[in-house]
Amino acid sequence: MSLDEDSSAKPHERLARALANDLAAVDSLIRERMASDNAPRIPEVTAHLVDAGGKRVRPMLTLAAARLCGYDGDNHHKLAATVEFIHTATLLHDDVVDESRQRRGKPTANLLWDNKTSVLVGDYLFARSFKLMVETGSLRVLDILSDAAATIAEGEVLQLTAATNLATTEEVYLSVVRGKTAALFAAACEVGGVISGADDVQVKALRAYGDALGIAFQMADDLLDLDGAAAAMGKNVGDDFREQKLTLPIIRAIAAADHEERAFWTRTIGKGQQNEGDLDTALALIGKHGTLETTRADALAWSESAKSALKVLPDHPLRDMMRDLADYVVKRIN
């Protein structure tokens, strides 16, 4: 099927088809490099994650950025595998739970493996990802991705400390979102440009695209958690609220709260004392202050910003798919 006949497919599916050969090379590199002769449990754990078949959005961004800039070598495979390793490592480390959490009877993602295994296998993948980067011979790539790794960890620590703190600002929220999503999206795009020898304007544009795409994606995700319409898509409404997460619509509702409303947020988010009916009250307060609408507007603006960044890049079918991807991440909320 040619790319043209295929315009009804989702943009990440079109990217996957256009980059099929590259993705196959990345997959075999991942399989080869996650092996450990010494510790067979490592590939067991990582295979479980890697085979789970995520959409591979991050490695595709690296591959697309490199191809778009005319890259013709094979270091982009190493970088795409690096990006997927870092992503998988952060997923494993996200799985680590605290005893207090387990006690609440929440299902955890690390039921198959214990905390310690999640931590150590994640560490192994981090180490292997740096080894892959070293093989590209590019110190600039190492610099970009070690910065991204630091930003991810910072963002997650910030989320821990910001959680339940009603004074959390939108600025802190953005740092958290960059850590959770946008930093790796931005770095994934940027290193694709760097390895291709793209000029500074294009490299900056790729970075800006990934950053804005990640922020738009995360804001849309936060929104869906509080949007009744999302229930139709099989998503639970209010998970973030129950986990006392300060997402943008809630941060804005708190900022606009009167005395009585503030007491409600202090009890439910600050102290985590939630009763039946509280989610409905929260949704009503969010509705009253219109913060779903302002969050939606912001997510759309970030999506526009992502698309706009692409303008300085070469005219190319991959560029069109990247543009469509920026539309797609906010399509669910529009």
Q: Is 170 in the site for its own copies (CB under 8 A)?
A: no
Cα separation, 334 vs 330, in Å, equals: 6
Q: Is 154 in the site for its own copies (CB under 8 A)?
A: yes
Q: Is 243 in the site for its own copies (CB under 8 A)?
A: no
Q: Alpha carbon 78 to chain centroid distance?
A: 20
Cα separation, 249 vs 286, in Å, equals: 7
Q: How far is the CB of 33 from its own copies (least distance, A)?
A: 10
Binding segment (CB under 8 A) for its own copies, from list 75-83, 134-142, 207-215, 242-250: 134-142
Q: Compare residues 127 and 297 and give the one whose CB is closer to its own copies.
A: 127
CB 241 within 8 A of CB 272: no
Q: Is 34 in the site for its own copies (CB under 8 A)?
A: no
CA dist list (Å): 165 to 45, 194, 257, 303, 304: 35, 39, 15, 28, 31
Q: Is 131 in the site for its own copies (CB under 8 A)?
A: yes
User: 3-class DSSP state for residue 290?
Assistant: coil
Q: Is 165 in the site for its own copies (CB under 8 A)?
A: no
CA dist list (Å): 96 to 24, 52, 91, 92, 221: 30, 19, 9, 7, 22
Q: Compare residues 3 and 120 and give the one whose CB is closer to its own copies.
A: 120
Binding segment (CB under 8 A) for its own copies, from list 5-13, 138-146, 220-228, 296-304: 138-146
Residue 103, burial from CB neighbour count under 10 angstroms (0-12, 13-18, 19+): exposed
Q: Is 158 in the site for its own copies (CB under 8 A)?
A: yes
Residue 99, burial from CB neighbour count under 10 angstroms (0-12, 13-18, 19+): exposed
CB 314 within 8 A of CB 70: yes
Q: How far is the CB of 301 from its own copies (least distance, A)?
A: 23
Q: Is 46 in the site for its own copies (CB under 8 A)?
A: no
Q: How far is the CB of 328 from its own copies (least distance, A)?
A: 30
**Given 41, 48, 106, 271, the residue binding its own copies (CB under 8 A):** 41
**Given 100, 107, 200, 276, the residue binding its own copies (CB under 8 A):** 100
Q: Is 142 in the site for its own copies (CB under 8 A)?
A: yes
Q: Compare residues 75 and 291 and give the one whose CB is closer to its own copies.
A: 75
Q: Compare residues 114 and 199 and give the one whose CB is closer to its own copies.
A: 114
Q: How far is the CB of 191 from its own copies (least distance, A)?
A: 13
Q: Is 231 in the site for its own copies (CB under 8 A)?
A: no
- Closest of 201, 211, 218 to residue 306, by C-alpha: 211
Q: Compare residues 146 and 281 and give the one whose CB is closer to its own copies.
A: 146
Q: Which DSSP string do the residues of 66-134 spell out, in sequence order?
A: HHHTT--SSHHHHHHHHHHHHHHHHHHHHT---HHHHHTT---TTSSS-HHHHHHHHHHHHHHHHHHHH
Contacts of 247 (CB under 8 A, 6+ apart): 173, 222, 223, 225, 226, 240
Q: How far is the CB of 298 from its own copies (least distance, A)?
A: 20
User: 3-class DSSP state for residue 212?
Assistant: helix
Cα separation, 250 vs 161, in Å, equals: 17
Name which of residues 173 to 212 contact its own copies (CB under 8 A): 175
**Given 4, 5, 32, 98, the residue binding its own copies (CB under 8 A):** 98
Q: Is 112 in the site for its own copies (CB under 8 A)?
A: no
Q: Is 161 in the site for its own copies (CB under 8 A)?
A: yes
Residues in contact with its own copies by CB under 8 A are 36, 38-42, 90, 93, 96-100, 102, 114-117, 119-121, 123-124, 126-128, 130-131, 133-134, 137, 139, 142-143, 146-147, 149-150, 152-158, 160-161, 175
